[in-house]
Amino acid sequence: MSTLPSKAVPSKALETFPNPSPGRDYHIHMLIPEFTCLCPKTGQPDFATLILDYIPDAKCIELKSLKLYTWSYRDEGHFHEEVTNRILDDLVAAIQPRFMRLTAKFYVRGGIFTNVLAEHRKIGWQAQPQVDLIEFEKQSNTRD
């Protein structure tokens, strides 16, 4: 009998957990460099790096379930545009973020690199103005 933990299996189930700081807009950035699916025309594997950026509302995405979720596409045929939007739709349905952007950077196929960027904004949500710390430092009396 093996004492190794049970093997993880691909799954479309996305687990979440409560946002520990729901009163603040903060940016979560994730890099998923091992995404694979199949070309629906040729059956050949397509490889991509997924870049997920989001501002959570009430919930956040649990990382292991995200790994298993992206792994679940490995043997499925999808066009780049379709799979990027489908993943975004599933993530939005799971956590209803204030803002979410998914960038899929597919590796070269037929001499062409494809990047697909899809976004979601919660109705009524506005990004806070970005603070320019360089400008602040220029005006500070602690700098020469």
Residue 120 is labelled as binding a ligand:
no
Q: Over the stretch 28-66, which tens digit does the pLDDT of each residue have?
A: 999 999 999 999 999 999 999 999 999 999 999 999 999
Residue 80 is labelled as binding a ligand:
yes
Residue 134 confidence (pLDDT): 75
Q: What is the pTM of this model?
A: 0.86
Q: What span, in angstroms and rounded, lies between the C-alpha atoms of 124 and 110?
A: 42
Instruction: Please name the CATH architecture into which domain 16-121 falls.
Output: 2-Layer Sandwich (3.30)
Q: Over the stretch 73-108, which tens digit does the pLDDT of each residue have?
A: 999 999 999 999 999 999 999 999 999 999 999 999
Residue 135 is labelled as binding a ligand:
no
> Hey, where are the domains in the chain?
16-121
Q: Which residues are catalytic?
A: 39, 46
Q: Over the stretch 102-116, which tens digit does the pLDDT of each residue have?
A: 999 999 988 999 999
